[in-house]
């Protein structure tokens, strides 16, 4: 092409519009509409999918998407109107069947229609913010069928009626029910909730309100709970069979509220069958049921817990304050342990080991054990009893179990230092008389006390054990040094550290000559090996084994106390001794002497002495003889001392006093510790802090604390603030 | 062995194809072929052994059938891509084609696939990748929208006001934030349908029960359908607004406190794990840099950092972009020399730990430089500087790749999404599309 010839182009108007069939859209839509009709008439097999798909594609491509969409809505609505009429016409039971069948048909049709209109679904609908075909089909079904005035109420009533029938024991078609409910859920959660769930819950609430009223009038508590539990399970089962899983919480809530929460107090306090009776009768199953049901409602568990606590406190209070029960300490503690076992098993079997229940149990025990001031003593006596004889044929594990239980009671005690006092006394007796059954058990308990209360609490107890051990070594050393002494009487000395052992009024008596020589020898041996020590004899605590020959030559070995030995030795040189003579020769304190004579002369089977006049009590003018007629089946005869095992009233006072005395320095130490760190503190705060610091050992008495503060002020540890009399200052 | 029972014969525009039900099943339920199966994935056939006629282009059908057989897309040179895409749309196989066209995103395997020239006047403002491989490009007051086939859709504008930021809320929704026009209710923020360019709704800001006009800045979105934007109102109503993208209603407003900057923010980033919004206002929009994290549940700034008190160093390292890396509990920042720095997110008031990477670009700064930008994608950190994009990997952010094109000027913005990287070049009004090639055959 040459550049010289420039052509002038003229732009002409576009003359020939492309002519297409003006009825194109109508024709294509007619084909599609016909297809939809055929689908709803179950005649789909004759349709060509490719042709329909292509037609729908072309309509969208040629900008007839809007036409296609509105056409679809109109046609489908018309079909659904027809369907709603046929559903409405169905009679009785056929109603749900028809609804279900039509729903299935509609779903199938919807699937096919969507396949045909897929191109519109993918392109036209998202860019024009229209509802996708499938969702549209569901919405139209909802509006034309489910919300059709003649169907809506009928459907709801039919469904509720079926549920009611099932509740009263009839068998219903669960499959159909499930399909219908599924349909409601498919139509959207709001349809399910509004058109079924809400009225269902209301009707259920009414039903259970009536039923619970009926049950509570005629059933006892256990039976009522059984019924409530069954109803609850039925509802849960119903949900799994044909309701939306989300309804479970709601319907169970209704049952819980109507059957349990509304009748909670009445159930718990029901006469002859309420909670207290269940506890008394060990009705684990009923209790467990009550726990599981009440757990579901607000305040349910706290209701049970409160009633249980007050019941425990009441029975516990009776247990510890009943004067009958106080006679035997072992029995007393055993009862406490039994009660605890019982309550523990209730909590573990019925109350799911609920921590809050365990706490309630603990606080109850703490409450009533401390109602009785003698609890610490009794617990120590119980241990004493167990460790003396009670654990003889018991395996190691069982011993541990018993000790653990005792420790548990110990934990409840507020006055742990009182327990310590008694425990020390009892332990001393056990150790010195050699009556402890198992060293391991003793040590194990000490370890437990140590872990519970710390080193300080048990250091003295441990000191006692150490003394016992070193004494053994000392005696071996003594006899190794003086081998010639083996032939004479054997002396066993237990050297006790003052302070570790419970202090005893030191009342020495005159030992028989044979013994006192030996004792002197030991004293010089001991003081020779240990310098700077003082040795004093505690004759009131010793024992002796002596060989005796009675009138007819019967020989016995007598196991007696040191005092008794002293008395008996006198009879080596005399046949008859008056009380006065014995008292003079031995210098045993009168009360002890009387007790030891009583045990030798008045106890049947152990009466190695005879006394004139024959009577139960020892008089100042009595005379004593060797009982030549003494017989015993055993070669070894153990002559106990008549001792009051339980503390007598004055002794008790004394122990009490000693405890109070021991508390003083502890309270003072606590006050000083606190004031040293705080410098200035007001009265009330000191009291609280001191009480808090000491509560692991005992419950400090506020007036006592006040006295201690005053004493400390006197001794210039503290001073009162010049302006505020309630404030104390620490003086460094 | 007998005869295969699942064979099916197609007659496409006169050509006969035979395939199996298994192959067609790969098309999925939502396709032309899916409709040929019943609920149990058995082929429906009305008249046995008869061929199934389809009135479409056979060449493209062959390609698509091959795609269904192998999940691999091969387009012969004689078939235009556009033609194939159209046919794929007919059969409902567009998604198949798209996912076979390029591979899963990997910053170290990217190759330049196309450059698209725009017709906009002036410099580009922003480019944002859409979730399915499309993108939106803002030039001045116009936003051009391209789908994954890089077909351009009707452009979008918001009252022809200057666009500050754009963002995709989903495959079919784009939010534009724009300046206000004084004295009118124009500008602000609007949500558009990307395919048609229609405005769906504008987002209002209400202060003291009164609708006020405002200029919207940076945008961010959270998975629970919230839209965040930094806002400047005329009566000093500065702060960050929150809207519901479904209803278009304003649901919250975090007012800027004195001495701090929120309404001027350059960058918002929603941190899903912390349930917080990162707001960064950077030099030179303000004289100082402010980075903060907002907790909207407590209406409280839970973390903040600023360089107000920091001493000015000799080479004056100023933060030009910031991005939070939730995995490593830090915020990565970049300065104008493309030095990376890190700030610890676990404590407030920390300082920037600049990395000692050697400055490869020093000394050859182009005449018209653009500020560096940062992006994060599946553990890989991207930073643009001048005409190239650097890729950093690993916990220590090691430089592993550089993407560079020979001409087109410096990169003023880039964005990653839909397994593609889009880079907008400032000089020639062009944007580049980088893709990872499909995975190797074996």
Task: Mutate one of B12, B28, B35, B85 to test the A interface: name it (highest A CB count within 10 A).
Answer: B35
CB atoms within 10 A of CB B322: 24
Q: Find, among A267, A276, A347, the residue nearest to A300 by Cα.
A: A267
Is the pLDDT confidence value at A504 over 70?
no
Substitution target from A47, A127, A134 for chain B, most B beta carbons within 10 A: A127
d(CA A371, CA A320): 7
Cβ B238 vs Cβ B231: under 8 Å: yes
3-state class of A288 per DSSP? helix
Is A119 in Cβ contact with B92 (below 8 Å)? yes
- B244 sits in the region (left: phi over 0; alpha: psi -120 to 50; else beta) called beta
Distance CA(A473)–CA(A124), nearest Å, equals: 107
Q: Cis omega before residue A413 (within 30°)?
A: no
CB contact under 8 A, B32 and A118: yes
> By CA distance, what is B10's nearest residue in A?
A50
C-alpha to C-alpha distance for B72 and A434, rounded to whole angstroms: 96
pLDDT recorded at residue B310? 66
d(CA A88, CA A100): 13
- For B113, how many CA atoms within 13 A lie in the half-sphere containing its CB? 19
Decide: residue B390, CB within 10 A, 0-12 exposed, 13-18 middle, 19+ buried.
Answer: buried
pLDDT digits (tens, 9 = 90+) for A353-395: 889 999 999 999 989 888 888 888 888 888 888 887 766 667 7
**Scanning every residue of chain A, which has its alpha carbon at the shortest distance from the alpha carbon of B45?**
A45
A127/B200 touch (CB, cutoff 8 Å), yes or no? no
- Percent share of chain B, pLDDT over 70: 92
DSSP state at residue A487? G
CA distance B264 to B217: 7
Rounded to 10 deg, the angle between the A24-40 and A65-89 helix axes is 30
Q: What span, in angstroms and rounded, lies between the C-alpha atoms of B28 and B32? A: 9
Please tell me the distance in Å from A55's CA to the nearest CA on chain B.
11
What does each C-alpha distance from B97 to A167, B266, B360, B441 come to in angstroms? Answer: 57, 37, 40, 17
Q: How far is Cα A127 from Cα B193, in angstroms, rounded to an integer?
A: 7
Q: At what angle do helices A375-385 and A329-349 cross, to 10 degrees?
A: 90
Return the bridge partners of A548, or none: A556
In chain B, residues with a C-beta closer than 8 Å to the C-beta of A115 are 34-35
Asked if A49 lies within 8 A of B54 by C-beta distance, the reply is no
The answer to whether the CB atoms of B32 and A123 lie below 8 A apart is no
Q: Give me the mean pLDDT over the A243-259 stretch.
A: 92
Give the residue on A whose Cα is nearest the Cα of B171. Answer: A126
Q: Which residues pair with B9 in a beta bridge?
A: B18
Phi-psi region of B254 (alpha: psi -120 to 50; beta: other; left: phi over 0): beta
> Before B51, cis peptide (omega within 30)?
no
Share of chain B above pLDDT 90, in %: 45
The pLDDT score that the predictor gives to residue A655 is 76
Q: What is the C-alpha end-to-end distance of chain A, expressed in Å?
A: 121
Structure tokens at A732: 């460094």
Nearest CA distance, B18 vs chain A (angstrom): 17
pLDDT of residue A100 exceeding 90, the answer is yes
**Is B52's CB within 8 Å of A50's CB?**
yes
Q: Are B203 and B189 in contact (CB under 8 A)?
A: yes
- Give A123's contacts in chain B (Cβ within 8 Å): 89
Please tell me the distance in Å from A455's CA to the nearest CA on chain B: 45
The answer, yes or no, to whether residue A723 has pLDDT greater than 90, is: no
DSSP state of B53: E
Chain B CB within 8 Å of residue A119 CB: yes
In angstroms, the CA B399 to CA B377 distance is: 15
Cβ distance B422 to B105 under 8 Å?
no
Q: What is the dihedral of CA B404, B408, B410, B414, to 10 degrees?
A: -70
Q: What is the DSSP letter of A23?
A: T
As a whole-number percent, the residues of chain A with pLDDT over 70 amount to 94
Q: Min CA distance, B63 vs chain A (Å)?
A: 20
- How many CB atoms are located within 10 Å of the residue B230 CB? 31
Q: How many CA atoms lie within 13 A of A637 on its CB side?
A: 24
pLDDT for the residue numbered A111: 92
Of the pLDDT bands very low, low, confident and very high (cuts 50, 70, 90), residue A397 is confident
A660 contacts A620 by C-beta, under 8 angstroms: no
First to last CA, chain B: 30
CB atoms B193 and A118 under 8 Å: no
Cβ proximity of B398 and B391 under 8 Å: no
- List CB contacts (< 8 A) between B31 and chain A: 118
Q: Nearest residue of B to residue A53 by CA position?
A: B32
Instruction: Give contacts of A127 with chain B, Cβ < 8 Å.
Output: 172, 193, 195-196
DSSP lists the bridge partners of residue B166 as B176
Regarding beta strands B52-54 and B7-12, do their DSSP bridges make them parallel or antiparallel, or are they unpaired? parallel
Chain B residues near any Cβ of chain A (below 8 Å)? 30-32, 34-36, 46, 52-55, 89-90, 92, 172, 193, 195-196, 200
What span, in angstroms and rounded, lies between the C-alpha atoms of B304 and A400?
Answer: 61
Domain residue ranges in chain B: 7-101
A157 DSSP β-pair partners: none
A45: nearest CA partner in chain B: B46
Collapsed DSSP state (helix, strand, coil) of residue B216: strand
Q: In sequence order, what are the beta bridge partners of A578?
A: A623
- Best of A49, A108, A112, A125 to disrupt the B interface (most B CBs within 10 Å) is A49
Alpha carbons A558 and A606: distance in angstroms, whole number: 9
Query: Measured between CB atoms, which of B32, B55, B196 is closest to A127?
Result: B196
A107-121 pLDDT, tens digit per residue, is 999 999 999 999 999
Q: Do A118 and B195 touch (CB under 8 A)?
A: no
Report the gap between the CA of A245 and the closest CA in chain B (Å): 25
Q: Which tokens hold the place of B90?
A: 């007919």
pLDDT higher than 50, residue A1: no
Element (H, E) at A32: helix A24-40
Candidates A54, A119, A128; nearest CB to B55: A54
Residue B86 in tokens = 């159209």
What ipTM is given for this predicted complex?
Answer: 0.82
Ranges A620-634, B38-52, B193-207, B351-365, most confident: B193-207
Collect all residues of chain B within an 8 Å Cβ-Cβ radius of residue A109: none
CA dist., res. A26 & res. A28, Å (int): 6
Please list every residue in chain A whose beta carbon sits closer than 8 Å to the beta carbon of residue B28: none
A57, B172: Cβ pair inside 8 Å?
Answer: no
How many Cβ contacts (< 8 angstroms) between chains A and B? 36
In the predicted model, is pLDDT for residue A644 greater than 50? no
Residue A163, CB half-sphere, CA atoms under 13 Å: how many?
30
Q: Which of A49, A118, A127 sits opposite B92 (nearest CB)?
A: A118
Q: Which of B46, B90, B172 sits opposite A45 (nearest CB)?
A: B46
Contact A122 B30 (CB under 8 A): yes
Burial of B350 (0-12, 13-18, 19+ CB in 10 A): middle
Query: Nearest-CA distance from A50 to chain B in Å?
Result: 6
* Mean pLDDT, residues B167-171 taken together: 91
Quick: pLDDT tens for A279-327: 888 888 989 999 999 998 888 889 999 999 999 999 888 888 888 777 7
- Is the Cβ–Cβ distance between A146 and A195 less than 8 Å? yes
Q: Distance between CA A526 and CA A521 in Å, rounded?
A: 9
Q: Please, is A565 exposed, middle or buried when counting C-beta atoms within 10 Å of its C-beta (0-12, 13-18, 19+)?
A: buried
What's the DSSP call for residue B424?
E
Q: Is A321 helix (H, G, I), strand (E, B) or coil?
A: helix
What single DSSP character describes residue B51? Answer: P
Rounded to whole angstroms, how far apart are CA atoms A214 and A568?
84
Q: Chain B: residue nearest A47 by CA?
A: B46
For residues A470 and A478, is the Cβ–Cβ distance under 8 A?
A: no
Geometric angle at alpha carbon A347, from A448 and A409, rounded to 5°: 30
pLDDT band, very low/low/confident/very high, at A5 (cuts 50, 70, 90) = low
Contacts of B52 in chain A (CB under 8 A): 50
Q: Residue A533 and residue A474: Cα distance in Å, rounded?
A: 14
Instruction: Give Cα separations from A325 to A285, A318, A329, A334, A336 (angstroms).
Output: 31, 9, 8, 11, 11
Beta-carbon contacts of residue B258 (< 8 Å; ≥ 6 apart): none
Reply yes or no on whether the pLDDT at B108 is more than 90. yes
Residue A118, chain B, CB below 8 Å: the answer is yes
For B172, nearest residue in chain A (alpha carbons): A127
pLDDT in tens, B53-84: 999 999 999 999 999 999 899 999 999 999 99
Measured in angstroms, the CA of A127 and the nearest CA of chain B are apart by 6
B358: pLDDT strictly greater than 50? no
Name the residue among B207, B206, B204 with its Cα closest to residue B190.
B204
Report CB contact under 8 Å: B193, A127.
yes
Q: What are phi and psi of A460, to 5 degrees?
A: -70, -40
Chain A CB contacts of B196 under 8 Å are 127-128
User: What is the distance between the alpha carbons of residues B257 and A575, in angstroms, rounded to a whole number?
Assistant: 113
Domain B7-101 has CATH 3.30.450.20: no
Kindly state the greatest CA–CA separation across chain B.
Answer: 84
Q: A38 pLDDT exceeds 90? A: yes
Q: Which residues of B touch A128 (CB under 8 A)?
A: 196
Q: Could you tell me the two tokens for A98?
A: 């028809």
Torsion angle defined by CA atoms of residues A427, A431, A437 and A438, in that order, rounded to the nearest 10 degrees: 80
8 Å CB contact between B191 and B177? no
Which 3 state secondary structure label does DSSP give A571? coil
For residue B398, the model assigns a pLDDT of: 87
**Spatial separation of the C-alpha atoms in residues A379 and A445, rounded to whole Å:** 13
**Residues of chain B positioned with their CB less than 8 A from the CB of A44:** none
């Amino acid at each position: 092409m040459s550049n010289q010839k420039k052509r002038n182009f003229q732009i002409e108007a576009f003359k020939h519009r492309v002519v297409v069939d003006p009825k194109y859209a109508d024709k294509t839509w007619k084909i599609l509409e016909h297809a939809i009709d055929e689908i709803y008439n179950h005649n789909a097999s004759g349709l060509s999918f490719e042709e329909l798909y292509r037609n729908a594609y072309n309509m969208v491509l040629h900008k007839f998407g809007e036409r296609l969409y509105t056409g679809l809505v109109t046609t489908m609505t018309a079909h659904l109107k027809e369907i709603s009429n046929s559903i409405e016409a169905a009679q009785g039971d056929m109603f749900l069947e028809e609804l279900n069948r039509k729903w299935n048909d509609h779903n199938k049709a919807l699937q096919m229609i969507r396949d045909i209109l897929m191109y519109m679904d993918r392109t036209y609908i998202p860019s024009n913010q229209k509802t996708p075909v499938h969702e549209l089909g569901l919405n139209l079904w909802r509006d034309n069928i489910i919300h059709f005035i003649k169907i809506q109420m009928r459907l709801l009533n039919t469904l509720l009626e079926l549920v009611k029938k099932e509740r009263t024991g009839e068998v219903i078609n669960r499959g159909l029910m499930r399909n219908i409910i599924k349909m409601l859920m498919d139509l959207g959660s709001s349809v399910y909730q509004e058109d079924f769930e809400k009225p269902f819950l209301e009707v259920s609430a009414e039903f259970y309100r009536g039923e619970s009223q009926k049950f509570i009038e005629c059933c006892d508590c256990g039976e009522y709970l059984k019924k409530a539990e069954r109803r609850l399970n039925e509802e849960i089962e119903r949900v799994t069979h044909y309701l939306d899983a989300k309804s479970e919480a709601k319907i169970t809530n209704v049952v819980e509220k109507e059957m349990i929460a509304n009748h909670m107090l009445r159930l718990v306090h029901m006469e002859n069958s309420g909670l207290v009776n269940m506890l008394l009768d060990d009705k684990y199953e009923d209790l467990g049921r009550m726990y599981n049901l009440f757990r579901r409602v607000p305040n349910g568990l706290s209701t049970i817990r409160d009633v249980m606590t007050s019941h425990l406190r009441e029975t516990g209070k009776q247990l510890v304050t009943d004067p009958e029960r106080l006679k035997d300490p072992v029995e007393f503690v055993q009862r406490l342990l039994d009660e605890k076992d019982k309550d523990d098993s209730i909590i573990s079997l019925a109350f799911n080991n609920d921590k809050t229940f365990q706490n309630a149990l603990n606080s109850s025990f703490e409450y009533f054990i401390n109602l009785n001031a003698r609890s610490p003593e009794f617990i120590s006596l119980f241990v004493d009893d167990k460790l003396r004889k009670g654990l003889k044929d018991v395996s190691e594990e069982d011993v541990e179990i018993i000790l653990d239980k005792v420790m548990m009671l110990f934990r409840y005690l507020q006055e742990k230092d009182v327990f310590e006092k008694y425990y020390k006394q009892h332990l001393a007796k056990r150790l010195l008389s050699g009556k402890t059954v198992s060293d391991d058990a003793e040590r194990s308990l000490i370890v437990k006390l140590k872990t519970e209360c710390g080193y300080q609490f048990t250091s003295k107890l441990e000191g006692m054990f150490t003394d016992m051990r070193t004494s053994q070594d000392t005696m071996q050393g003594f006899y190794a040094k003086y081998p010639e002494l083996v032939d004479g009487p054997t002396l066993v000395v237990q050297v006790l550290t003052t302070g570790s052992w419970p202090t005893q009024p030191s009342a020495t008596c005159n030992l028989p000559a044979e013994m006192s020589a030996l004792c002197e020898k030991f004293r010089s041996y001991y003081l020779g090996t240990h310098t700077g020590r003082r040795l004093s004899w505690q004759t009131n605590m010793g024992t002796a084994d002596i060989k005796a020959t009675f009138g007819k030559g019967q020989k016995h070995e007598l196991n007696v106390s040191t005092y008794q030995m002293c008395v008996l030795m006198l009879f080596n040189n005399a046949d008859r001794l008056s009380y006065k003579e014995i008292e003079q020769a031995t210098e045993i304190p009168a009360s002890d002497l009387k007790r030891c004579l009583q045990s030798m002369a008045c106890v049947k089977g152990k009466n190695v002495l005879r006394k004139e006049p024959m009577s139960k009590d020892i008089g100042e003018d009595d005379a004593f003889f060797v009982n030549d007629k003494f017989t015993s089946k055993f070669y070894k005869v153990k002559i106990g001392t008549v001792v009051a095992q339980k503390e007598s009233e004055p002794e008790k006072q004394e122990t009490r006093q000693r405890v109070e005395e021991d508390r003083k320095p502890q309270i003072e130490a606590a006050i000083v510790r606190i004031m040293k760190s705080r410098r200035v503190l007001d009265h009330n705060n000191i009291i609280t802090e001191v009480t808090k610091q000491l509560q692991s050992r005992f419950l400090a008495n506020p007036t006592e604390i006040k006295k201690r503060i005053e004493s400390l002020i006197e001794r210039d540890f503290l001073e009162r603030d010049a302006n505020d009399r309630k404030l104390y200052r620490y003086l460094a | 062995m007998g005869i295969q029972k699942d064979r099916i014969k197609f007659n496409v525009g006169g050509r006969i194809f035979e395939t199996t039900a298994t192959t067609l099943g790969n098309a999925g339920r939502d396709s032309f072929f899916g409709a040929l199966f019943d609920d149990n994935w058995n082929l429906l056939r009305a008249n046995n052994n008869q061929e199934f006629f389809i009135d479409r282009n056979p060449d493209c059908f062959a390609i698509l059938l091959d795609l269904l057989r192998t999940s691999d897309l091969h387009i012969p040179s004689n078939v235009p891509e556009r033609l194939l895409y159209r046919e794929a749309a007919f059969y409902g196989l567009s998604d198949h084609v798209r996912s076979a066209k390029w591979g899963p995103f990997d910053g170290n395997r990217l190759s330049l696939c196309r450059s698209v020239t725009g017709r906009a006047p002036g410099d580009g403002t922003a480019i944002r990748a859409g979730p399915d491989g499309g993108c939106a490009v803002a030039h001045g007051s116009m936003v051009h929208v391209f789908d994954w086939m890089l077909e351009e859709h009707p452009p979008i504008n918001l009252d022809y006001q200057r666009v500050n930021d754009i963002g995709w809320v989903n495959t079919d929704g784009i939010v534009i934030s724009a300046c206000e026009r004084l004295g009118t209710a124009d500008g602000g923020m609007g949500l558009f349908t990307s395919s048609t360019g229609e405005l769906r709704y504008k987002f209002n800001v209400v202060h003291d029960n009164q609708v006020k006009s405002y200029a919207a800045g940076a945008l961010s979105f959270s998975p629970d359908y919230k839209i965040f934007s930094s806002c400047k109102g005329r009566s000093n109503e500065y702060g960050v607004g929150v809207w519901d993208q479904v209803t278009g209603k304003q649901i919250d407003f975090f007012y800027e406190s004195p001495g701090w900057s929120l309404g001027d923010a350059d960058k918002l980033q929603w941190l899903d794990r912390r349930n917080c919004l990162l707001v960064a206002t950077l030099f030179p929009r303000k004289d100082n840099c402010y980075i903060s994290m907002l907790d909207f549940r407590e209406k409280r700034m839970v973390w903040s950092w600023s360089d107000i008190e920091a001493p000015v160093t000799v080479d004056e390292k100023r933060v030009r972009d910031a991005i939070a890396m939730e995995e490593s509990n830090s915020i990565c920042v970049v300065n104008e020399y493309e030095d990376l720095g890190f700030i610890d997110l676990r404590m407030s008031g920390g300082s920037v730990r600049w990395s000692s990477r050697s400055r490869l670009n020093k000394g050859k700064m182009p005449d018209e430089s653009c500020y560096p930008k940062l992006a994060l994608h599946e553990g890989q950190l991207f930073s643009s500087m001048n005409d190239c994009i650097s890729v950093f990997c690993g916990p220590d952010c090691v430089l592993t790749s550089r993407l560079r094109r020979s001409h087109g000027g410096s990169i003023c913005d880039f964005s990653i999404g839909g397994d593609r990287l889009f880079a907008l070049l400032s000089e020639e009004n062009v944007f580049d599309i980088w893709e990872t090639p499909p995975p190797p055959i074996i």
